[in-house]
Structure 1
Amino acid sequence: MEHMYSKWHHPYTPENKYSKKVAYFSMEFGIDQSFNIYSGGLGFLAGSHMRSGFELKQNMIGIGMLWKYGYYDQARNEDQTLRTDFNVKHFDFLEDTGIEVEITLHDNPHVKVRAYVLKPEIFGTVPMYFLSTDVENNDHLSRTITNHLYDNNPVTRVSQSIVLGIGGAKVVEALGGADTYHLNEGHALPAFYYLRDRGVSKNQMVFTTHTPEKAGNEEREARQLNRSGFFGRLLSDEELHNEMVNGGMINYTVSALRMAKKANGVSKLHAKVANDMWKDYDGVCEIIPITNAQNQKFWQDESIKNAWTARDADAYKKRKNDLKSELCDEVLHQTGKQFDPNVLTFVWARRFAGYKRADLLLHDFDRFKRLISNEKYPVQIIWAGKPYPFDYGAIDLFNHLIYQSKNEPNLAVLIGYEIELSKKLKCGSDIWLNTPRITREASGTSGMTAAMNGSVNVSTNDGWIPEFEKDNQNCFVLPALDYHLPTWDQDKMDTNNLYDILENKVIPTYYENPDKWQDIVFKGMDGVIPDFTSQRMADEYYEKLF
């Protein structure tokens, strides 16, 4: 029996202004806790986009990968340090579409890629197709390509891009083709090469760049990519030469910017930084800003929302206290420490990467000790986040924080940082600490969903924050500094500024002036809704990019 999702199908008639057929490619999607195939912000963002696409009745589908082991599961060694576990995942809610396509990988012209559908009624997303090479008749090596999100083996990583890009494009063809092909980051770049050869015009290709970080803008040796089947066919020396940059390399971002009609950065600041980064390469398209956002319906607590809408401070405080108690239970459950819902609670939680500076508070250790032992103004601090499983520097930092917090009753490092814990932290915290080095955080969406739930952003002025911030009114912002300074100097200045703000503004306001605090909380919600909800974002993609 033919599956109704084996052709382009939506359970609704798309709205007129969203009638263009869009296929959205992403390496990861964070849609629901039970579907843990994402690593961090890129996935959360893509998941929110798919939910809002459904809410707005857009004629869009998602194309992703069915990771057999997901990203990884966070566990602890016996001394509480981080252990990375890889467990096979089972998702009964996915259905086999019967669509199977073949791609050429390296010297194997018959690698099979199978598509499984996530129907809209499961999690309230547009129809989404997840690709797997763990298919009968594939050889052992081919079957392992879709094992691990962001596999550490470079050859496997290239193969994953080909599966998502060319395999994904062939699945879209099997569904009846799309009017617009949207790459969320450069991972699925082979799709553009394959589609270009099939006569799909530049006008139908768009691209989102997400990061100024080198690691997020992959660059690989052109000849090796040509051998591996990256371009959908073997390119001649001359053709290959036309694609190369930086002495024989293919830069995924540069290639995507050359092939797309238009691209976007993920905040106003990031679009500026990105245009500046890539301006010296010939033939790159314009990069406009479409600021990232998150799905309000999914992330905002309903009672918090009602209290904010009614401007009912008492109802808000009662609900916030309950949510803080739930977070304190989680801390107790994981660490055996009894946190108090009446104490000012700081959270630093996001992907663990060096430039995000999880340990900024510890850079001035004397002030840190004073902060956590102040009896007049008590505080509690929670860290959570997932380092890349092979980023030993980030894992070392994670373990350093565990070691530092071990004997402190009001410090905790939590594991299992996925959607469910993320929600608990955003709902249960008073302060959302966001400390990236300026210009390095393209957008940083965690603070948006924190603000939706009354957690006040204390942040460097990076990513989306400049578009939102009214300092001392809806958040607290560190003074801008010259980001060309050596990082040591930047860190020192930011640390001093962070402590000045905490000691003189944030903490006294919370304890001495609860009315002012409540005002900041509600104004934070005003500032983030609707401007930083993915309804606005999903609409802008149709209007400005597609």
Structure 2
Amino acid sequence: FTTHTPVPAGHDVFPHHLMDRYFASYWEQLGLSRDEFLRLGETPDSRGHGFNMTALVMRLSAHVNGVSREHGRVSREMWQHFWPGLPADQIPIRSVTNGIHAPTWISPELHHLYSKSLSPTWTHTCDDPAMWQRVMDVPDHELWAVRQTMKRKLMGFIRERARVGWMHGHLQPSQVLTRGTLLDPEALTIGFARRFATYKRATLLFRDLERLKALLQDRWRPVQLVFAGKAHPADEPGRYFIHEVLNFCHDHKLGGRIAFLEDYEMHMAKYLVQGVDIWLNTPRFPLEASGTSGMKAALNGVLNLSVLDGWWVEGYNGANGWGIQPLSEQADTQAQDHHDAEQLYRILEQEVVPLFYQRDRDGIPRGWLQMVKECIRTIAPQFCTTRMLKDYVGLMYRAATVRPPTTW
């Protein structure tokens, strides 16, 4: 069994009266009493009040894993009560970090460059570090030209969506502007696209509007933001986050440097992870189980700026992107938000923006591209589905054929 999130909303709990309604005949078929059956879904929080589906599956599984090394640690602490008296580091919940299917997410332009510079069959050996080492030898001007092409395609996609919406009468004039028609293809572009769950803190960058305005309105080194995503219909706080972002998009004092793209789906996601310069991820530690959008961006030469949680704890090496060191998970939410926002502004002001706009006489950001190459070299072999599936076979599936189920 693979558990996918520590967030309570991701662990369904059903009241006992519904279990009685739908499973009254089922426990009899299993030779169990009602109480014995209900205990299979019992946790300290739900005892006597609800049937926890995650608890049920964990009790019936021989092997359990989280989806990143950090998530494995969090899960062992979260479910430690299943193994009373056993230290957290000995709890039998392992981890297999997620990976992405590179051929699906890498742009056609970069696919061609990899085929030419790495190997014509690079998609068959995605987990080979030696192959990805060759990316360091790709000429800067070739990589930069490809990255600029991908960015122009994103800007064209954004403007065409706005044009079609206007042509069909779906958008008001102000909405055309908030959909990104004023974005500059030469400006440093930060992308944030994912579910608008509250723990992902989509509005963290808006905590200090004066510092944000300074970044967006810099005449010589402007920054712009592209947001996309959806909230669950029942997630009122998440929907409010989208409303807040849209309000900032409408703020003329921010110069049209913020866009929100509606109807987020896979087709749009491809343009975003391929075309922005920075992929922003600001989850509240330690609630990010893994995350995969940053992996997709990284394999396209997009640098991650992320809280050190989920997969990024393993991916970040200090030279392939930027990491926000979180406070202890025991810290209150206000302290976490203040601390993380301060780090975010500092990194943008002092590191990201200067590096992006530092160009040689040919207009090429050599230092930036060195980090892009390091990003691709280190992340591509470690966070692809080839590596992930090999881990599942070696750590989980093969073991399941020879080891007896865990006893409870």
Which TM-score tier does this pair reach, normalised by the shorter chain?
0.7 to 0.9
Q: What's the secondary structure of 2:270's corresponding residue?
A: helix
For structure 1, the 5+ residue unaligned runs are 1-206
Alignment of 1:76-155 (within 5 A): none
Q: Distance in 2 between matches of 1:484 and 1:230?
A: 41
Q: Distance in 2 between matches of 1:400 and 1:377?
A: 26
1 or 2, which has the higher strand percentage? 1
Q: Determine the structure 2 residue equivalent to 1:323.
A: 150
Preserved CA contact (<8 Å) 2:326 2:336? no
Q: Distance in 2 between matches of 1:442 and 1:251?
A: 19
Q: 1:456 to 1:275 in 2, by over 3 A?
A: same
Q: 1:223 to 1:390 in 2, by over 3 A?
A: closer
Q: Distance in 2 between matches of 1:241 and 1:499?
A: 49
Alignment of 1:46-61 (within 5 A): none
Q: CA deviation at 1:255?
A: 1.4
Q: Determine the structure 2 residue equivalent to 1:441.
A: 288
AA partner of residue 219 (structure 2):
E
AA partner of residue 269 (structure 2):
S
Q: Determine the structure 1 residue equivalent to 2:356.
A: 510
AA partner of residue 543 (structure 1):
G
Q: CA deviation at 1:490?
A: 0.5
Alignment of 1:493-532 (within 5 A): 493-512=339-358, 514-532=365-383
Q: Determine the structure 2 residue equivalent to 1:533.
A: 384
Q: Does 1:274 align with 2:71?
A: no
AA partner of residue 259 (structure 1):
L
AA partner of residue 51 (structure 2):
I
Q: Does 1:304 align with 2:110?
A: yes
Alignment of 1:65-464 (within 5 A): 207-229=1-23, 232-234=26-28, 236-243=33-40, 244-245=42-43, 246-248=46-48, 249-282=50-83, 286-307=92-113, 309=118, 311-332=138-159, 333-334=161-162, 335-336=176-177, 337-406=181-250, 407=252, 408-464=255-311
Deviations 1:288-327 (A, max 9, x none): 0100111011111243244354513222222221211121
Higher mean displacement: 524-533 or 217-226: 217-226
For structure 2, the 5+ residue unaligned runs are 119-134, 163-175, 360-364, 398-408
Preserved CA contact (<8 Å) 1:293 1:533? yes
Q: What's the secondary structure of 1:443's corresponding residue?
A: coil
TM-score (norm 2): 0.79
Q: CA deviation at 1:211?
A: 0.4
Q: CA deviation at 1:368?
A: 1.3
Number of equivalent positions: 339
CA RMSD of aligned residues (A): 1.9
Q: 1:228 to 1:313 in 2, by over 3 A?
A: same
Q: Distance in 2 between matches of 1:231 and 1:541?
A: 36
Q: CA deviation at 1:329?
A: 1.9
Q: CA deviation at 1:529?
A: 1.4
Deviations 1:248-306 (A, max 9, x none): 22211111111100011000000000011001124997210100111011111243244
Query: Which gives a bigger RCO, structure 1 or 2 (Cα 8 Å, sep 6+)?
Result: 2
Q: Distance in 1 between matches of 2:95 and 2:25?
A: 29
TM-score (norm 1): 0.60
Preserved CA contact (<8 Å) 2:27 2:34? no
Deviations 1:16-36 (A, max 9, x none): xxxxxxxxxxxxxxxxxxxxx
Q: Identity over aligned residues, as a percent?
A: 33
AA partner of residue 373 (structure 1):
Q
